[in-house]
Amino acid sequence: MNNNIILDYLKEKDFDLSSSDLPGITISLDNNELVIKGSKLDLIELANYIVNLALSNNNRDHIHIDDLTLIDKDSKINSLIIEKE
């Protein structure tokens, strides 16, 4: 489950994918709301993970994103699991 569906589509459509922001998503809980912040490319990569999960043929598949993959080491929440039902 490592297809770049979103990134490939955006490149094909000639979207500007340049980003000067440092990589790494930050996640926090603010007033009982989950807040996810990231650069343009970080959010595209997160979207790609979610689309690949949604297209998976297996129920109960999941993605585990942490500070070793996409989450910034300074993020208040350093692990995110998204599961397909």
Q: Write the pLDDT tens digit of every residue in 31-69.
A: 999 999 998 889 999 999 999 999 999 888 999 999 998
79, 61 Cβ separation under 8 angstroms: no
Q: Are residues 24 and 72 in contact, defined by beta-carbon separation less than 8 angstroms? A: yes
Q: State how far the Cα of 12 lies from the Cα of 9, in Å rounded to an integer.
A: 5
Give the whole-angstrom CA distance, residue 2 versus residue 4: 7
- Whole-model pTM? 0.83
**Integer Cα distance of 60 and 62 in angstroms:** 6
Is 1 within 8 Å of 61 (Cβ atoms)?
yes
